[in-house]
Amino acid sequence: MIDISAVQAFHTEADVRSLADLAVAQGFVAAHALPNFVPLLRSLIPEGGRTLVGGPIGFPAGGHMTAIKVTEAKALREAGADELDLMMNVGRLKSGDLAYVRDEVAAVIEAAAPVPIKVIIELHHLTDAEMETAAEIVAASGAAFVKTGTGWTPAAATLPRIRRIAAVVAGRAGIKASGGIRDLDTVAAMVGMGVTRFGINTTSATELVERVRALPGGRLPIQAQG
């Protein structure tokens, strides 16, 4: 359920190579790199294996023109990405230009097809009402996932906010929680709310996996959350 990434501005080729090695060795569901490194990452991770290759679109601010995002989606698909993360245009959302946001998400989904899209709504910048509007747009768009953040802003994927997103999405899309998730209690609670993917930094992800392996039966107990 965890994917790991090297998507900060300072990440180097060596970081991407280490990311690929760790993702394959630990069996993480996906590894993501910045767009220019996606071809390298694809060359390092076997196609059709347990670990998917991904990259971001319009990252990290989301303010690119729609045409640029569409072009980037096509290029990443052609580079062999198995899944893509689209940064929503938060400025347009907060301006109330919801038609622009809907049209852009739809255009990128079409350009990337059949590669699935996770749409990042960047919770740190949103009020609860804006968060629910963003989640509804993503759920209605046919995107594969609502993703809570890029990792470039302070963590905002709290349990109350995940619960509200889950209520809005209502099973129409997956939920990926990303940003500041560091303990198994939080992971278990979020899974109980319907989260099926997590974006966690490599150090914390590895530590969490080792903790789960040490649990009875090597499994994390989950209870459905209301």
Report all structural domains of the chain as residue ranges with CATH numbers, in order of start. 2-218 (3.20.20.70)
Q: Is pLDDT above 90 for 225?
A: no
Those residues with Cβ within 8 angstroms of residue 70's Cβ, 6 or more apart along the chain or in another chain: 107, 108, 111
64-82 residue pLDDT tens: 999 999 999 999 999 999 9
Mean pLDDT of the chain: 95
Q: Just list the catalytic residues.
A: 85, 147, 176
Residue 146: the pLDDT is 98
Sign of the Cα torsion 68, 73, 76, 78 reads negative
How many helices and strands, by DSSP H and E, does the chain display? Answer: 9, 8
Q: Is pLDDT above 70 for 4?
A: yes
Sign of the Cα torsion 167, 120, 173, 155 reads negative
Those residues with Cβ within 8 angstroms of residue 219's Cβ, 6 or more apart along the chain or in another chain: 212
**Stronger pLDDT, 182 or 66, i.e. the higher one:** 66
